[in-house]
Amino acid sequence: MRKEEIFARTRDFASRPGTLAGPRDLGPLGALPGPEGVLFRVWAPRARSVGLRVEGPAPPNDYSMEAEGEGYYRLFLEGALPGTRYRYLIDEKTLRPDPASRLQQEGVHGPSTVWGASEAPPPRFPGHALSDLVFYELHVGTFSPPGTFEGILPALDHLTALGVTALELMPIAQFPGRRNWGYDGVYPFAVQDSYGGPDGLLRLVREAHIRGLSVFLDVVYNHLGPEGNYLSSFGPYFSSTTRTPWGEALNFDGPDSDHVRHFFIEHLRTFALVFDIDGFRFDALHAIRDQSPHPFLADLSLAAENIGSRRGRPLHLVAESNANDRRTVIPVHREGLGLDAQWSDDFHHALHVILTRERNGYYEDFHGMTDLLEAFGKGFVYRGQPSRSFRCRRGSPSEDLPGASFVFFAQNHDQTGNRMQGERLSSLAPPEALPAILALVLLSPGLPLLFMGEEYGETRPFLYFTDHGDPDLIEAVRAGRKNEFGAFSWTGEIPDPGDPLSFERSRLILTDPSKDLSSSQRSLIRWTARLSHIRKSLPALAPPPRISGPDNLVLSPGDRVFANLRRDAASESRTLLLVNLSGEGRRVSAAFIKEVCGLSAPRPLLDSLSMDGDLSPDPLPDPPDLLLSPFRALLLSEASP
């Protein structure tokens, strides 16, 4: 492939006929190797000149780069190979790594390294429909003893058997040091070297696809980390008018913002087409500052649609946002942002309040069972009502949105790691409640998400940890962590994020589920797999076309008793999920089951009292009432005639 073809092959953002105009194609970024050499290209409008310095065992060589216009510089270096170490020389005096570097083998302050993907064709993989996604969120560094992509491979068969269909990796962009959640990344295109770099990621994706697993990346498009962040040396990547709680906001709506947008759209394109990634989860969408009439996120959705069309399977986009804004998942042609789904924090908060009775911080907005019913039946609890913790109205109507527009979870990295002591729900709730929690998540009308270790009731904490080199920054992180807990009444000493022990305490010790776990933990794994299997096998349990409607009814037949009646319109089949969320026995009347829910001959499909055993195919006996022991979860259907 010649240098002209290297440049041309990346032009794949042109809109398809009949669709809205997509973002401008401004060409490739970074170092792209080919048989004849490497094309280097960078956007640096703040520079009067840009050169390329090639570093290595031999004395460094400097090369002038050609100015293209609009701040872009390029150079095709014949004979250069993958593995070449380089930096850009700005105005003949300042050396900086490549903002679009693919590999930072010497950390965030060192030179960039040219990297090229293997030419081996990827395995054929059809992907998953949105409604078939069951997410498993994991942190690469703490999921396995080696803390690498390679360390995940032995667990892939376990996750497949569990019923998971999509790995969701916490951010993997190059960050300072070796210990970080990933939200301090400063090189979006570079895969963290301590995790195994781009080669390790490529192998993980291919092995996952062989097993039928999709792979999602958690990406941060609202800010970049502070240490090793050199983008301002090149151009106006950051907003001059606003900030996020974690640093400077990115410039998606000011002067030169088309080029900043292109940088991040090119990032998405690279990981979708080079690494064969199946979807992205966007961190803190509410912190992406954009007042333009053509929102960056809508541009991103159009680009994802075109990429999905090109490779023959969808590229899914999922948002994390505390705004509860329906426009996030409304199609672009209907003046929405066009993403596929968004996290429902409200479901988590309502369930957490029931199980722990905590009411501080943002939990003060939630009151237990009533809110859980609202979240399960409408996606969001806050749909325009005033919020005490936000001190303003929050949310917009969600009743008419598809069930698959929402991601439901009882735990994730935020809700665990942003507690002072990083406690998991398995440490806060009674052990006998864990099967019921899994039933609510995996049989929800949305897309379920499990956090690593949740399937067996992991009790090790997941703490916040960093590995910065700047002493002032280390102290600032400690102070910020302390201030963050001001709205909560938690007591005790805050674990030091910079202490390696905070990282080690968060590491899972699971290597072989058949050997490393107790019998009760293995039983919980089998229960999780049964829940996933029955979710996939019963049409009535598929995400409904409208989350609030006849196919998804939520009721409460008694104090702290949850009931969800699901229906498949085509087959007219019904299921009834009953969950006792109290520590005391509760009775559900036969009249409720038969007259209100329409199950005249209810047959048990799943029962948390028999997590390992087969259930009788016969209908339940006909007592006056059904007894639900503490935290019992029971799934019923109409017995076949």
For 262, the token pair is 């292109």
What is the arithmetic mean of pLDDT over 608-626? 75
Q: Which of 601, 555, 546 lies closest to 578, judged by CA?
A: 555
What is the arithmetic mean of pLDDT over 194-209? 97
For residue 25, the model assigns a pLDDT of 85
206-215, 243-252, 363-372, 569-578 — most confident range: 206-215
Residue 641 has pLDDT above 60, yes or no: no
Residue 297 has φ and ψ, to the nearest 5°, of -65, -30
CB-based burial of residue 622 (10 Å sphere; 0-12 exposed, 13-18 middle, 19+ buried)? Answer: exposed
For residue 634, the model assigns a pLDDT of 96
CA gap 587, 282 in Å, rounded: 43
DSSP 8-state secondary structure symbol assigned to residue 258: H
For residue 511, the model assigns a pLDDT of 63
For residue 122, the model assigns a pLDDT of 83
**Which stretches does DSSP call E strand in 432-572?**
447-451, 552-558, 561-568
In sequence order, the 6+-apart residues with CB closer than 8 A to the CB of 113 are: 83, 84, 85, 86, 101, 102, 103, 104, 105
The reported pTM is 0.94
Q: For the chain, what is the total number of helices (H) and then of strands (E)? A: 17, 30
**Which stretches does DSSP call E strand in 245-388?**
247-250, 279-282, 316-319, 341-343, 385-387
Domain 132-528, architecture per CATH: Alpha-Beta Barrel (3.20)
Contact 404, 446 (CB under 8 A): yes
CA gap 90, 79 in Å, rounded: 23
What are the pLDDT digits (tens) for 79-131? 999 999 999 999 999 999 999 999 999 999 999 999 999 878 888 999 999 99
Rg (CA), the chain: 26
Contact 65, 73 (CB under 8 A): yes
Residue 30 has φ and ψ, to the nearest 5°, of 95, -155
Residue 173 has φ and ψ, to the nearest 5°, of -65, 145
On the question of a common fold for 3-113 and 539-638, the answer reads: yes
Name the catalytic one among 266, 320, 455, 638. Answer: 320
For residue 6, the model assigns a pLDDT of 45
What are the pLDDT digits (tens) for 364-391? 999 989 999 999 999 999 999 999 999 9
Annotation says 25 is catalytic = no
CA gap 1, 556 in Å, rounded: 65
For residue 86, the model assigns a pLDDT of 98
Annotation says 584 is catalytic = no
CATH, range 3-113: 2.60.40.10
CA gap 23, 13 in Å, rounded: 7
H/E run at residue 636: strand 633-638
For residue 493, the model assigns a pLDDT of 84
What are the pLDDT digits (tens) for 542-577? 999 999 999 999 999 888 999 999 999 888 889 999
What are the pLDDT digits (tens) for 482-517? 777 666 666 778 899 999 999 999 999 776 666 778
What is the arithmetic mean of pLDDT over 267-296? 95
**Which stretches does DSSP call E strand in 3-126?**
30-34, 37-43, 50-55, 61-64, 66-69, 72-78, 85-90, 94-96, 112-113
Average predicted confidence (pLDDT) for the chain: 91
What is the arithmetic mean of pLDDT over 344-348? 96
For residue 276, the model assigns a pLDDT of 96
Coil/strand/helix, residue 588 = strand
Contact 456, 517 (CB under 8 A): yes
For residue 535, the model assigns a pLDDT of 97
Name residue, tokens 């954009």.
Answer: 290
Name the catalytic one among 137, 218, 283, 305. Answer: 283
Residue 360 has pLDDT above 90, yes or no: no
Coil/strand/helix, residue 296 = helix
Residue 624 has pLDDT above 80, yes or no: no
Of the chain, the end-to-end C-alpha distance in Å amounts to 66
CA–CA distance from 186 to each of 97, 98, 128, 191, 231 (Å)? 11, 11, 31, 11, 9
What are the pLDDT digits (tens) for 6-29? 445 444 444 443 444 557 789 999
Contact 428, 355 (CB under 8 A): yes
539-638, CATH topology level: Immunoglobulin-like (2.60.40)
For residue 92, the model assigns a pLDDT of 94
Contact 439, 587 (CB under 8 A): no
Side-chain-side CA neighbours of 501 within 13 Å: the count stands at 5
Residue 554 has φ and ψ, to the nearest 5°, of -115, 140
For residue 18, the model assigns a pLDDT of 42
Q: Identify the residue with better confidence: 409 or 475.
A: 409
Name residue, tokens 């994706």.
Answer: 205
What are the pLDDT digits (tens) for 150-170? 999 999 999 999 999 999 999
Residue 139 has φ and ψ, to the nearest 5°, of -105, 120
For 217, the token pair is 């990346």
Q: Quick one: pLDDT band at residue 435, thresholds 50, 70, 90?
A: very high
The residue extents of the domains of the chain are 3-113, 132-528, 539-638
Coil/strand/helix, residue 147 = coil
